[in-house]
Structure 1
Amino acid sequence: MNHHLSYPPGKAKPASVTNQRNGRGAKTVLTEDGPIRIEVPRDRDGSFEPLLIPKHERRFTGFDDKIIAMYARGMTVREIQGFVLEQYGTEVSPE
């Protein structure tokens, strides 16, 4: 969301930015390990598109398989963490 809006949370919105944060919306996502409840950030004009779990998606499958495939191809745990942070903007545990 920071990249999308061009300013961090808690800071004043620049005059050149017309869109702004609008809280979070909760939804339940079905995973391979069962349902989990997540909060997805929103913006006023609805243009923010989450990367990890897109809008209107209710199933989140195959993520573990992707991580295992990266490890099998020789990526270290730290490299995988860096990739997930870079691609999805979220930190994951090394465990």
Structure 2
Amino acid sequence: MAALKEIYTASTEQAAQQALENFAAGESGPRYPAIVRTWRAAWSEFTPCLAFPPKIRKVVYSTNLIESINARLRKTTRNRGHFPSDQAALKVLFLAVRELITPKARDVNHVAAHWKKALNQFSLFFEDRLNVR
């Protein structure tokens, strides 16, 4: 929802708080009270993220690699159904992972551009901990 995006993309904690209050008071708040309650309960864990530059925050909230890999593996095994042996199941999972890590020409430019901007921000923000070659 666009209203929630205003919260996690806010430039300051005050702006994020105002966006949350706008969401709660708007038409979505009464329809989704659990969302408002969850944001308020986790506010102290969320606000430290606002200290990071916008490019770093985008990488953090838009990338969930482990869930993506797990979903692909579940889909692969579900589509195959029954495996005659553990070795057969491992081979199918190996091939699925290999396909995931092999970059496709259409994906490389989009992902590389996204990560290059983020890497530049990481190198500035974590200068003492990141060695960019």
Instruction: Output the TM-score relative to the length of structure 2.
Output: 0.19
Q: Which has the higher strand share?
A: 1
Instruction: Output the TM-score relative to the length of structure 1.
Output: 0.24
Q: Which has the higher helix share?
A: 2
